[in-house]
Structure 1
């Protein structure tokens, strides 16, 4: 049986504040997606909320950022190594990412079978 091997480095990227957010799909299989996201000085557009039908586990590998969750008064600050599990349809947005260094995220999306 022949196996396909793909490799790379999560920190190899060409990110700058002018380039916008860079999203790279690393894995998509069986309802699971893994993405590498690189942001420099990025924030969600005013009034925009992510509202995914899948759960999302995200870890900030480098940089700094803050997420906002609908209904919460204060943003959720994150530093390298911090992670958060976001349930399906939990509306959230990026409040800000560091302007001084790239914020590198690893996001895992998967079906959320929990009853709503």
Structure 2
């Protein structure tokens, strides 16, 4: 048995992505952020839908239309495929632990 909230990465200088399950139709990841945000290279424009939940910390997701949503511990959000978005904030005083489910 594994614990989703334990064995966090020690390197806080970068965001960490861990694939937990991957099939043709579904991918489940644990993402651990330490204040990181999306790169300045543009918006995420994914072919898959993404359901994301914050289990610890907090983060803000901004959408191309200018709206944004801040997720705190326990909050979740579904982002439909090709909805352009980026992460503009994650907590700096504690890790932000995301559960991300990508699906078609």
Per the TM superposition, whether the score is higher than 0.5 is: yes
> Distance in 2 between the 1:22 and 1:8 partners?
17
Paired residue secondary structure (2:103): strand
Q: Deviations over 1:27-79 (max 9, x none)?
A: 0123100000000111111242111101000000010110101112x421110
The answer to whether the aligner puts 1:84 opposite 2:77 as a matched pair is yes
TM-score of the pair, normalised by structure 1: 0.83
Question: Which residue in the other structure is 2:38 paired with?
Answer: 44
Runs (4+) of structure 1 exceeding 4 A deviation are none
1:15 positional shift: 4.3
Question: Which residue in the other structure is 1:32 paired with?
Answer: 26
CA RMSD of aligned residues (A): 1.3
1:14 positional shift: 1.6
Paired residue secondary structure (2:31): strand
TM-score of the pair, normalised by structure 2: 0.92
Picking from 88, 98, 106, the partner of 2:91 is 98
Gaps of 5+ in 1: 1-6, 112-116
Greater Rg over alpha carbons, structure: 1
Question: Which residue in the other structure is 1:69 paired with?
Answer: 63
